[in-house]
A and B are shown apart, each in its own frame.
Chain A
Amino acid sequence: MVPEFRITRRFAAPRDRVWDAWTRPEQLARWFGPKGVTTTVLSFDLRPGGGLHARMESADGGAMWARFVYREVAAPETLVWEHGFADEAGAFTASPFGGPWPLRLLTTVRFDEEEGDATRLTLTWVPLEATPEEETAFAAMMESMTGGWSGSFEQLDAFLADDA
């Protein structure tokens, strides 16, 4: 059984506004992507079966692409899509970060209203049709976050390297 990746965050903005930030390409481009990249949405179709293709460019000129294929669009509560890295043409492709990463992750985002005109956002990731090797890598990543051992191993490693 592969655990699901779950991340939750409270945003100090009304739900409709947070929904727009995820479903309007010009807004999504302003915040989506790994640290230090500039995101450009190349195509966008917010309907089940439709999708998004975005280019993410880093400061050194390197580029990678993301692809979403939407499965469920229930404004302003739930957004579900297949999520993956892509090539320039928009086909799902292996992670540019290397490692045995699932090609596609089923991504579900829930938008819940909270007191004070705020929104609680909950995002989950579940591997789709992943190989056992990819599922193991995904599970290791998950456990490291919930168990907090990734950080402690990093410190341990630095300590050992200093020692050597």
Chain B
Amino acid sequence: MEDALSLKLNALADPTRRAILARLALGEATVAELGRPFAISQPAISRHLKVLEAAGLIETAQAAQARPRRLKAGALKEPADWIAGIASLWSDSFDRLDAMLAEDIEREGE
């Protein structure tokens, strides 16, 4: 069993699924509407939606006949925080290295 973060990262790793999320950010949409911009079949779109839903990133509105999909609020925070944390490991270190080098050169100049 994969953990929730792994499922989300895996879902986000695909460009079609990211495009679907970007579309859903504008508002809920049906499977047919979501498939329109892509040159792929409806079953293929449905498979992508299944991955996104299993990862907890989107949900299906049960009330309406057309069962539109929508984004789940708060679901992107965990992967976004995780990615930002990893991505800043080196940039934070480099900021400190930059400051250290500048400090040492200044000290020598005195």
Contacts and interface: CB of A to CB of B under 8 A. Distances in A.
Is this pair of chains taken from one and the same complex? yes
Q: Is the interface of B mostly helix, strand, loop or mixed?
A: helix
Contacts of B74: 157, 160-161, 164
B5 interface: yes
Interface of B: 2-3, 5-6, 9-10, 12-13, 18, 21, 25, 71, 73-77, 79-94, 96-102, 104-105
Contacts, number: 123
Given A12-B105, A136-B6, A137-B10, 20 more contacts: A7-B91, A11-B101, A12-B102, A21-B101, A31-B96, A31-B97, A35-B92, A99-B86, A123-B90, A136-B10, A137-B9, A140-B10, A140-B13, A145-B83, A153-B76, A153-B80, A156-B71, A157-B77, A160-B71, A161-B77
13 contacts: A7-B91, A11-B97, A12-B102, A21-B100, A21-B101, A98-B5, A99-B9, A144-B12, A144-B87, A156-B76, A157-B74, A160-B25, A160-B74
A27 B93 CA distance: 12
Q: Is the interface of A mostly helix, strand, loop or mixed?
A: helix
Contact of B88 (A35, A99, A136, A154): A35
B82 A149 contact: no
A73 interface: no
Interface of A: 7, 9, 11-13, 17-18, 21, 27, 30-35, 97-101, 121, 123, 133, 136-137, 139-141, 143-145, 149-151, 153-154, 156-157, 160-161, 163-164
